[in-house]
Chain A
Amino acid sequence: MSNTEDLSLEVDIEDVVNAVLEEEDKLLHLEKPLGINDNIEKRIKELIN
């Protein structure tokens, strides 16, 4: 196996996108959406573990 071989993500990227947009939607219209980065990180960790 070459050391630049592509890694399989084992997750549908649309699931990640939808999770991120769901989090954004919750805090939309707030000038400083506090905790948004933590929420997105958490959702991605849940999807890829």
Chain B
Amino acid sequence: MKLEVLTLNNFRQFVGEQTLSFSQDKENNITVIHGENGSGKTALLNSLYWIFYDDIYLPDANKIVNEKAIAESQVGDEIKVEGVLKFSHDDKIYTIQRKKFFKKKDKNDLSGELISEDFNLEYIDNQGKSIERNNPQKAIKQILPEDISKLFFFHGEYINELSKENQQDEIQKDIKIIMGLEILERAIRHLETVSKRFEKKLRDYGDEELRNIIDEKQKKENELGDLKNELETIKNNKKGIEEEISAIDEKLKKLEGAKDAQEKRERYEERLSKIKESIVTVEDRLKKEFSERGYYMHLSPVIKGAKQILDRKKEKGELPTHVKKQFVKSLLDKKECVCGRSLVEGDEAYQKVQVWMEKAGLEGLDEAAFELKSRINEFQNNKDGFFEEVSNLLKEKNKLLDEKNKVKDKIDEISVELADKEEENIKKLEERRKRLREEIDRCNQRIGVKKKDIEDLEDKIKELSKKEEKLKVKEKKALLAQKRFKACNKAKEYIEKLFDKFATQVRNEVEEKVGDLHSEFLHKAYWAEITDDYKLKIYKKIGDQKQPVGMSTGERQIASLAFIGGLAEIAKERYEEKKDAIYFKGGIYPIIMDSPFGYLDVVHKKRIAEGMPKLAEQLVVLVTSSQWKGEVEQVMTTKAGKIYELNYNNPNEDPTDYEYTIIKERGK
């Protein structure tokens, strides 16, 4: 999708008909729109939501009609509010048009009464003929799903939220939507429902044994549903408690007598969460060591035994063997000894040579013994390396656990200090906080138990399902239902595997792209990673170890920008490679950013401005005049294909004047 021309007519503060052409230049792919605070940047961003989905995310969302236009109309007049967007998509030029007509009810009416509306979407076909889409809203949801529009058309505050700790659900959702993984997820869900329908038929036509299995499974599934609901309730409860603790923390920070202690506690808590993360990293490395080299522990006695046998043989002089069996056999076959004496079967000389047959070694035995010895030595070295690494990791873990306990003690001390304060309000807040913390510990315990119960129950259900699929049925209709039921389950398993495969692939790709963009934007040796549970994490290297980094607001903004840019890039690559794929299609999307420089310092503003053209094929940047002036203007003027200014008319106290904005193109 590429935006071409936007025309607004009396929409919010944009008075009369106003047009804005987006840059189509491949090099200078940015359209910059700058204006004072309140001049309508966010309204402009919202005009796109309105045109596409009839949604507005602004205060007074129902007030669409321009104040000046309605004020200057006569009572009973109709005022047209219109948004028209021309864009290209999949080699077609589309025009989307949303119109609403408002009637002025009385002299003081500045909102108007909605009397009619119209929405249509048309495109130009290969012969240049204009064709209107029958179901425009459905077609728009196919071209630009609303979830995707929120990801790529965003306000600075949204991206700042994106890299916060608790945003992994949002990130996971975005990755799934953009990469088409959602279609697989939906298919899994719908196959579950259809499978139930076939199962019902199977129960209806099956015999008693089958019915009993299905009933038992149903019972377990109900129990599982209850358990999952309970788990969800506990998690929500925990989230609520955490929010309450955060609110208490904010209150404490505002109280003079508690401010310092609370800030100190926050620093300790941040430290504690980093220690916990490091413990998880060490535990993961331990798990990896055991899964890759853990067998050394079990093989050790066997290897030791083999070494003892080899050593004994060496001591006895049996190894290496000096005379080979094949050589003795050739003497006996030739009937002639090495000394030239004839060997006649049965005589003394023959028997003496024959005795060597038992003592001599097989061809290759020495070589094998030598090989075995060197392997044993190699094993010994690897085994020592494994034990050394495990011992180091355990030491590291213990050190971290000690540190964790110390930090916890410090946090407890602060809690006691605050609870002992003379000020009643501080005392009360801290006591409440302590009770809430205890409640969180209880929640965590309950979450652990429920998760285990869910796992057990799921195993039991899986077992029953297998029984159900394999049980021999006689009735023809039951057999057919059973086959369909089994096909549903197999297809579901197949799609689940496909989903896991793609999800990992996508995560790795996103991580790589985000990492590249992030290191380009950020003036520090940090890098970004998407963890297994889709958390966006920033790390730095200290010695050989990677350490998670706590991010400032500006750094979070950079990480999020890199994330969105990374997604846009992958979606585009995927789209160009796999246009005909059913799933995992990707797409080309413009990025529209409102106030992306909000929390950045001078150095990073400049870096982001420089790197911006790489974020997407087409970019629209809305900035305040103060964010625009200086470094941003310097860098972006050379990168922008089009620059617009929002000229805002401020009515101040003049009752005869109204607020409105004029979009004005500015030369580069």
List chain A positions with a Cβ less than 8 A from chain B: 1-7, 9-11, 13-14, 16-18, 20-22, 24-25, 28-30, 33, 36-37, 40-41, 44-45, 47-49
Contact of B491 among A6, A20, A30, A49 (CB under 8 A): A20
**Smallest CB–CB gap between A47 and chain B, Å?**
7
Contact of B486 among A5, A7, A14 (CB under 8 A): A7
Consensus secondary structure, chain B interface: helix
Residue on A nearest B491 in the bound complex, by CB: A16
Q: B664 on the interface (CB 8 Å rule)?
A: no
**Smallest CB–CB gap between B97 and chain A, Å?**
21
A40 to B469, CA, bound (A): 20
Q: Would A1 and B141 count as touching, CB distance under 8 A?
A: no
Contact of A6 among B138, B470, B494, B495 (CB under 8 A): B470
A44 to B122, CA, bound (A): 36
A18 to B191, CA, bound (A): 13
Q: B431 on the interface (CB 8 Å rule)?
A: no
Contact of A4 among B186, B471, B482 (CB under 8 A): B471
A14 to B582, CA, bound (A): 13
Q: Would A37 and B193 count as touching, CB distance under 8 A?
A: yes
- Given A6-B470, A20-B190, A44-B484, 4 more A-B residue pairs with CB atoms under 8 Å apart are A9-B487, A13-B487, A16-B491, A37-B197
Residue on A nearest B197 in the bound complex, by CB: A41
Known contacts A7-B486, A28-B186; A13 and B582 CB within 8 A of each other: no
Q: Report chain B residues within 8 Å CB of A1.
A: 472
A-B contact pairs, 26 of them (CB 8 A): A1-B472, A3-B472, A4-B467, A4-B470, A4-B471, A5-B470, A6-B470, A7-B469, A9-B486, A13-B491, A16-B488, A17-B498, A20-B187, A20-B190, A21-B583, A22-B582, A25-B583, A28-B142, A28-B183, A30-B138, A33-B186, A44-B194, A44-B198, A44-B487, A48-B480, A48-B483
Q: B428 on the interface (CB 8 Å rule)?
A: no
Residue on A nearest B142 in the bound complex, by CB: A29
Q: Report chain A residues within 8 Å CB of B470.
A: 4-7
Q: Would B484 and A45 count as touching, CB distance under 8 A?
A: yes
Residue on B nearest A2 in the bound complex, by CB: B472
Q: B554 on the interface (CB 8 Å rule)?
A: no
Q: B161 on the interface (CB 8 Å rule)?
A: no
> Count the B residues whose beta carbon is within 8 Å of the partner chain — how many?
35
A2 to B482, CA, bound (A): 17
Q: Would B490 and A21 count as touching, CB distance under 8 A?
A: no
A2 to B467, CA, bound (A): 13
Residue on B nearest A33 in the bound complex, by CB: B186
Residue on A nearest B482 in the bound complex, by CB: A7
Q: B145 on the interface (CB 8 Å rule)?
A: yes
Residue on A nearest B139 in the bound complex, by CB: A29
A40 to B498, CA, bound (A): 19
Q: B182 on the interface (CB 8 Å rule)?
A: yes
Q: Would A48 and B484 count as touching, CB distance under 8 A?
A: yes
Contact of A13 among B184, B479, B490 (CB under 8 A): B490
Q: Would B471 and A3 count as touching, CB distance under 8 A?
A: yes
Q: Would B194 and A40 count as touching, CB distance under 8 A?
A: yes
A29 to B147, CA, bound (A): 9
Q: Would A30 and B190 count as touching, CB distance under 8 A?
A: no
Digitize B179-211: 1 where CB-to-A-CB distance is under 8 Å, 0 elsewhere: 000111011001101100110000000000000
Q: Would B482 and A49 count as touching, CB distance under 8 A?
A: no
Known contacts A13-B494, A17-B494, A18-B582; A24 and B194 CB within 8 A of each other: no
Q: Would B145 and A29 count as touching, CB distance under 8 A?
A: yes
Digitize B454-490: 1 where CB-to-A-CB distance is under 8 Å, 0 elsewhere: 0000000000000101111000000110111011101
A7 to B484, CA, bound (A): 11
Most buried by A among B467, B472, B491, B583: B491
A31 to B182, CA, bound (A): 12
Digitize B262-289: 1 where CB-to-A-CB distance is under 8 Å, 0 elsewhere: 0000000000000000000000000000
Q: Report chain B residues within 8 Å CB of A21.
A: 183-184, 187, 495, 582-583
Residue on B nearest A22 in the bound complex, by CB: B582
Residue on B nearest A13 in the bound complex, by CB: B490
Q: Would B480 and A41 count as touching, CB distance under 8 A?
A: no
Instruction: List the 5 closest pairs (A to B, CB-CB), nearest first.
Output: A3-B472, A29-B141, A29-B145, A16-B491, A4-B470
Q: Report chain B residues within 8 Å CB of A22.
A: 582
Q: Report chain B residues within 8 Å CB of A17.
A: 491, 494-495, 498
A29 to B142, CA, bound (A): 6
**Smallest CB–CB gap between B191 and chain A, Å?**
6
Contact of A37 among B194, B482, B484 (CB under 8 A): B194
Residue on B nearest A41 in the bound complex, by CB: B194
Q: Report chain A residues within 8 Å CB of B480.
A: 48-49
Q: Would A48 and B487 count as touching, CB distance under 8 A?
A: yes
Contact of B183 among A24, A41, A45 (CB under 8 A): A24
Q: Report chain A residues within 8 Å CB of B186.
A: 24, 28, 33, 36
Known contacts A25-B582, A28-B142; A4 and B472 CB within 8 A of each other: yes
Known contacts A22-B582, A24-B183; A5 and B472 CB within 8 A of each other: yes
Residue on B nearest A1 in the bound complex, by CB: B472
Q: Report chain A residues within 8 Å CB of B483.
A: 7, 9-10, 48
A44 to B490, CA, bound (A): 12
Known contacts A9-B483, A25-B183, A36-B190; A14 and B494 CB within 8 A of each other: yes
Q: Report chain B residues within 8 Å CB of A28.
A: 142, 182-183, 186
Contact of B487 among A3, A11, A18, A30 (CB under 8 A): A11
A44 to B145, CA, bound (A): 28
Q: Would A24 and B187 count as touching, CB distance under 8 A?
A: yes
